[in-house]
Amino acid sequence: MISEELVNALIENPAVSREEVEDVYRDSEFPVLMVEADAVGAVSEFLRDTEGYEFDFLKNLTAVDFEGHMHVVYHLYSTSLRHKIMLKVQVGREQPVVPSVEPVWRGADWQEREVFDLFGIEFAGHPDPRRIMLPEDWQGHPLRKDYVHEPDHYD
């Protein structure tokens, strides 16, 4: 469990916390930070590089589609200090763009390609932004709630 003090210090830290870092939920073993899209790069580097945090492992990068908006969810783990944290970024449905964390954690490479493939969220600065699971010429993003499947020649 990441300690309360570290989470509070994270919110107060001038290197990270502008008004963009919002609410924090401390209920579970995954305290959640809502982060603005612009601050994702700075927050990621801070969490990875700072003493006491040392989040060197990106366990999961995924997205959730709600009615009016979408969340990009990051699960982070520290292999040296054994604590966890979760970041959530809220994006809209039209032209969603989030800075890529691939320069920070290499494992984000294919995870971000998967999120782009299935949700249509673009990651700025990703070295290889293309679909990963669906054919290259697929139209649409299937895990969105408003996806309608057009029958093709296989159906």
Partner 1 sequence: MADRNVGPLLTAADMLPGVGGDIIVTEADFFINWARRSSLWALTFGLACCAIEMMAAYAARFDFDRFGVIPRPTPRQADLIIIAGTVTKKMAPRIERLYHQMPDPKYVISMGSCSNCGGPYYDSYSVVKGVDKVIPVDVYVCGCPPRPEALMYGVLKLQEKIREKSLRQEINASA
Interacting residue ranges for partner 1, rule: CB under 8 A: 133-135, 142, 147, 149, 152, 154-155
Instruction: Using the minimum distance from each CB to partner 1, give the nearer residue, 124 or 134.
Output: 134
Q: Is 138 helix (H, G, I), strand (E, B) or coil?
A: coil
CB 123 within 8 A of CB 99: yes
Q: Closer CB to partner 1, residue 25 or residue 138?
A: 138
Task: State which residue, 68 or 151, has the beta carbon closest to partner 1.
Answer: 151
Give the number of other Cβ atoms within 10 Å of residue 95's Cβ: 9
How far apart are CB 8 and partner 1 at their closest, in Å? 45
Amino acid found at 84: K
The CA-atom distances, in angstroms, between 12 and each of 8, 15, 50, 93, 102 are: 6, 9, 14, 31, 26
Count of residues for the chain?
A: 155
The pair of structure tokens assigned to 30 is: 């995954």
Give residue for tokens 């989470």.
Answer: 7
Query: Shortest gap between Cβ of 136 and partner 1 (angstroms)?
Result: 9
Q: Are the beta carbons of 107 and 113 closer than 8 angstroms?
A: no
Nearer to partner 1 among residue 25 and residue 147 (C-beta): 147
Smallest distance from partner 1 to CB 145, Å: 14
**Whole-number minimum distance, CB 67 to partner 1, in Å?**
21
